[in-house]
Amino acid sequence: MTEKTKASPAPPSRSRPKADPAPAFGPGRIAGAAVIVIAIVGVAWLAITLTRFFMLVFAAIVLGAIFDAIASWLCRRTRMGRGIALALSVVGIIAIFAGAFMLFGSQLAREIDTIQRQIPQALQGIEAFLDRYGLGARVRELAAVGGDDISRLVSQAGGYALAAGSGIADFVLVLVAAIFLASDPATYRRGLLLLMPAKAEETVTLALDDSARGLKGWMVGQAVSSLVVAALTWAGLALLGVPAAGGLGLIAGLLDVIPMIGPIIAGVPAILLAFTVSPATALWTLVLFLVIQQLQGNFLQPMIQKQAVDVPPAVLLFAVVAAGVLFGFLGVLLAAPLTVVVYVLVQRIYVKTLLGKPIKVVGRD
């Protein structure tokens, strides 16, 4: 018999020493946190640097929406091709702006000699009136300070000319981009949806639909407001006997797109032409524009926009100020449509999707 070999006893188990836990703030975590902070700062800096670019893109979207709305209306009414309708919409918008300023410019060129003769007389009359009440010396001091400021502005005319050239280049860029967007908006819409996660695609689709209806409502409201302002300005200037009342009224209606500042810009040439009639006419022209501005800015436009887009009037008014502070003149120009888009996006994405609360759908309810 073979002797069974006895199994040798197992060696005593040696307990391995436990590894020290990784420190909470080790070099790896510190490096990762630093990379995240740098990335956030870089993205923020890039967003601030490209603010003007983003505003130009939004301007192209708004202008493209206007072209698309006009072209779609022409296609429905006349059954013409999409390309022809789009071309007519672009030419029509450009012709309206060019015609208004050419009409005003020709009248202003004919009256420029009269303006040069009337303004000094009017200023002398104003100075004599102020001297009677002891305010002439103070006004002359302010005028001297203003003259120094004007001289400084004239010395910087080259810089302003370059800025104007840059503005023209931006306008051409926005116009061309708007034509491309309006020619085939579905392609850009599909491209944007492809970048979205599958779970968010439905929400983004509804948000885009809400934004499109909101912009359409803004365009309708703005068109009504511009027509009313143009008619009131035309009628008021015609009653006062101001030359080129029709051209000035058309310019006032076009500049009504710029909240708050537009009526001021439109009022300056009207007052200059009113001086060719009499200083009293110029004063009444100033009163006319102040009344129209108050009516348009504080009652007419907010009420029309509220009916078309359902944005509270106070939100629109404060948005103009905020956009001007953040983005300058371009922000003021785009304040109303930007507010409309942000408002409907907050409703759809935040209030409806994230909070689950009911909302009033733009253009439907």
Interval 185-209: pLDDT, tens: 888 888 888 888 888 888 888 888 8
Q: What is the pLDDT of residues 27-69, one digit of tens each?
A: 667 777 777 888 888 877 877 787 888 888 888 888 888 888 8
- Reference 259, options 215, 205, 203, 221; nearest CA is 221
- Looking up tokens 């070099």 gives 27
**Pairwise CA distance, residues 261 & 211, whole Å:** 26
Mean pLDDT value across the chain: 75
Whole-number pLDDT of residue 149: 46
pLDDT, mean of residues 289-318: 73
Which percentage of the chain shows pLDDT scores above 90? Answer: 1
pLDDT, mean of residues 92-121: 68
Give the angle subtended at the CA of 183 by the CAs of 180 and 184, to the nearest 5°. Answer: 100
Res. 311 pLDDT band, cuts 50 70 90: confident
Distance of CA 280 to CAs 127, 234, 240, 291, Å? Answer: 14, 18, 10, 17
Give the angle subtended at the CA of 34 by the CAs of 33 and 39, to the nearest 5°. Answer: 100
Are residues 292 and 228 in contact, defined by beta-carbon separation less than 8 angstroms? Answer: no
pTM of structure: 0.68
Whole-number pLDDT of residue 162: 47
Res. 116 pLDDT band, cuts 50 70 90: low
Residue 4: pLDDT above 50? no
- Of 192-206, 225-239, 321-335, which gets the smallest average pLDDT? 321-335
Whole-number pLDDT of residue 158: 47
Token pair for 109: 């060129």
174: left (phi over 0), alpha (psi -120 to 50) or beta: alpha
Res. 153 pLDDT band, cuts 50 70 90: very low
